[in-house]
Chain A
Amino acid sequence: MIENDLLVKVSDAGLYKNGKWLVKGVNLNITKGKIVTLIGPNGSGKTTTAKIALGLYKNIEGTVKRLTNKISYVPQKVSIDWTLPVRVIDFMVLTQDLQDQEINDALNLTGVEHLKNNNLRELSGGEFQRVLLARAIAKKPDLLVLDEPVQGVDFTGEVELYALIKKISETLQCGILLISHDLHVVMSATDYVVCLNGHVCCSGTPVAVAQNKEYKELFGEKSSQLLSLYEHEHDHVHDSDGNIVKEGK
């Protein structure tokens, strides 16, 4: 890893709140052009870890070093009260100034250009997620933090949006911190996986993590095989029992 490519370095970070550790001992690096994915069961500290990386908590253990200010964030939940009338186009320029062209391009990329003048509350869950993603990529950030960015999006849309996220990381050369439940789709598009369960269970490339014992305990044997389905075209095959047989690279 070239030091210049480093965007965020989280060292031995943890958050102790209301008498318990939400997450503890997290180490991770986010670098330009790479996608780091956080996986883990509910309550395992994925969102907390993302917020630690963003610097949203003041009293954390360990250190977080952020080397960029061009950050975009897609939170897990954004709720807009009825009293607040916000159109998609108002939302796009929430934290940034954008040209009309940039707004159109970003909305176009996530496939919701036609909703530009709609009120946010008129959108379906999936449409709203697409708008959130469009807003986040519109200003071409260095670092993109996506907390379950495709929740509520239909299956074809999901595959499409993950492909888009992958494309964004390549074309913009931005670092992405992704939180997701969709193991099968995510793993195929990720460079580095951190598996959380209150602490870091294991981390590494998708293939390495999938074969980790703790990962298998957490997600079950099935998920490990599920993942290998996506990888087997590249570097390994299965025997008749479905076990993975390595074929030296």
Chain B
Amino acid sequence: MTIFDDFVFRALIAGIGIALVTGPLGCFVVWRRLSFFGDTLAHSALLGVILSISFDINISLSIFAVSSLVALILLRLQNTTNLAGDALLGLLSHSSLAIGLVVLGFLSFIRFDIMGVLFGDILSVNVNDLIIIWAGGAIILFVLWLIWKPLFASTVNYELAEAEGMNPKRVNAIFTILLAALIAISIKMVGLLLITGMLIIPCAMARNLSNNPKQMVVFSIIGGLLSVFVGLYASFEINTSSGPTIVTVAIILFILSLSRIRKKY
């Protein structure tokens, strides 16, 4: 029996892996005002889960494919319709959620734990999931590191970045794919309703404590890790679902950080 046989330990390793990725990615989500966008991608993950069950394909791969597709459709619609960004997001978010639930209705013969998909199911994390989380997470962080500079520049000012020879359109698309990938690897752990919370709450906390971008990323990671440690411990102690408990801890950290808030210049 190895240490990986202990589901508490597996959950912890999975949580650490996810917190390391949500920190940096979440900062960009907050900076770029993409919270609702993250939500949309997460909602579309339900369709991914259902497709994975129907066609018996890997769940992370299936979620990644559907989320990426929705993200690309969104990028395309932004250029071709006059609908405001948030309306477009609402359209895609709820249509993918609705279609997912309708398709689920056809599959009544399959035993399916919808609560696990919505809120995460820590008990079901297996060694395979750990490999996907850590390998996927490493790739996401590596790509983010590669595009950090142009992505950050285009976050500060899109036209300035483009005028000075960067390719903001391309890095934005890559970032969107990274977000889809993160959702794919973390759904099982946190659940699709709460992944956006995991993305933005530690970063919102970090903003209250930092005065430069790198510092904010570091504090976000620390906040995410703390939420995972305390949240997992609490969920086992008081027997609550892991995803909501982790997010609740993150919220408590955020509230605590308000006391250290720097002047709102």
Q: How many whole Å from A72's CB to the nearest CB in chain B? A: 6
A72 to B156, CA, bound (A): 15
Identity of the chain B residue whose Cβ is nearest the Cβ of A135 in the assembled complex: B160
Using Cβ atoms and an 8 Å threshold, which residues of chain B touch A242?
none
Specify which of B163, B166, B211 is in contact with A119 (CB 8 Å cutoff). B211
A73 to B223, CA, bound (A): 37
A96 to B153, CA, bound (A): 10
Interface residues in chain A, defined as those with a beta carbon under 8 Å from any beta carbon in chain B: 51, 54-56, 69, 71-73, 75, 78, 80-87, 90-91, 94-96, 119, 121-122, 145
User: With contacts A54-B163, A73-B163, A83-B31 known, is A78 near B212, CB below 8 A?
Assistant: no
The answer on a CB contact under 8 Å between B153 and A95 is yes
User: With contacts A84-B31, A86-B213 known, is A71 near B155, CB below 8 A?
Assistant: no
A85 to B163, CA, bound (A): 23
A165 to B108, CA, bound (A): 72
Of B30, B213, B216, B265, most A-chain CB atoms within 10 Å: B265
Using Cβ atoms and an 8 Å threshold, which residues of chain B touch A83?
30-31, 33, 207
Chain A, interface SS category: loop
Specify which of B156, B159, B207, B264 is in contact with A51 (CB 8 Å cutoff). B159
B86, CB-defined interface residue at 8 Å: no
Identity of the chain A residue whose Cβ is nearest the Cβ of B214 in the assembled complex: A90
The answer on a CB contact under 8 Å between B212 and A90 is yes
A82 to B213, CA, bound (A): 12
Q: A71-B165, A121-B265 are in contact. List 16 more A-B contacts (CB 8 A).
A: A54-B163, A56-B163, A71-B163, A75-B159, A80-B156, A84-B155, A84-B213, A85-B207, A85-B210, A91-B156, A94-B152, A94-B153, A94-B161, A95-B164, A119-B211, A119-B265
A154 to B216, CA, bound (A): 34
Using Cβ atoms and an 8 Å threshold, which residues of chain A touch B152?
94
Q: How many whole Å from B153's CB to the nearest CB in chain A? A: 5
Question: A-B contact count, CB below 8 Å?
Answer: 72
Using Cβ atoms and an 8 Å threshold, which residues of chain B touch A56?
159, 162-163
Q: Which of B3-50 contact A (CB under 8 A)?
A: 30-31, 33
The answer on a CB contact under 8 Å between B211 and A85 is yes
Q: How many whole Å from A114's CB to the nearest CB in chain B? A: 17
B157, CB-defined interface residue at 8 Å: yes
B94, CB-defined interface residue at 8 Å: no
A41 to B134, CA, bound (A): 58
The answer on a CB contact under 8 Å between B153 and A87 is no
The answer on a CB contact under 8 Å between B265 and A95 is no
Question: Contact string, B213-237, partner A, CB cutoff 8 A, digits 1/0?
Answer: 1011000000000000000000000
Question: Contact string, B196-217, partner A, CB cutoff 8 A, digits 1/0?
Answer: 0000000000010011110110
Tally B residues with Cβ within 8 Å of A: 27
Q: Which of B135-186 contact A (CB under 8 A)?
A: 149-150, 152-153, 155-157, 159-166
Q: How many whole Å from A146's CB to the nearest CB in chain B? A: 12
User: With contacts A54-B163, A119-B211 known, is A81 near B157, CB below 8 A?
Assistant: no
The answer on a CB contact under 8 Å between A85 and B216 is yes
Using Cβ atoms and an 8 Å threshold, which residues of chain A touch B211?
85, 87, 119
Using Cβ atoms and an 8 Å threshold, which residues of chain B touch A85?
207, 210-213, 215-216
Q: How many whole Å from B203's CB to the nearest CB in chain A? A: 8
Can you pick out 14 interface pairs between chain A and chain B where the beta carbons lie within 8 Å of each other? A51-B159, A51-B163, A69-B165, A78-B156, A80-B156, A82-B265, A83-B30, A84-B155, A84-B156, A85-B207, A85-B216, A94-B152, A94-B153, A95-B153
Q: How many whole Å from A65's CB to the nearest CB in chain B? A: 16
Q: Which of B228-265 contact A (CB under 8 A)?
A: 264-265
Using Cβ atoms and an 8 Å threshold, which residues of chain A touch B166?
95
Identity of the chain B residue whose Cβ is nearest the Cβ of A91 in the assembled complex: B156
The answer on a CB contact under 8 Å between A78 and B160 is yes
Identity of the chain A residue whose Cβ is nearest the Cβ of B216 in the assembled complex: A85
Using Cβ atoms and an 8 Å threshold, which residues of chain A touch B156?
78, 80, 84, 86, 91, 94
The answer on a CB contact under 8 Å between B161 and A95 is yes
A54 to B162, CA, bound (A): 9
Specify which of B149, B160, B216 is in contact with A75 (CB 8 Å cutoff). B160
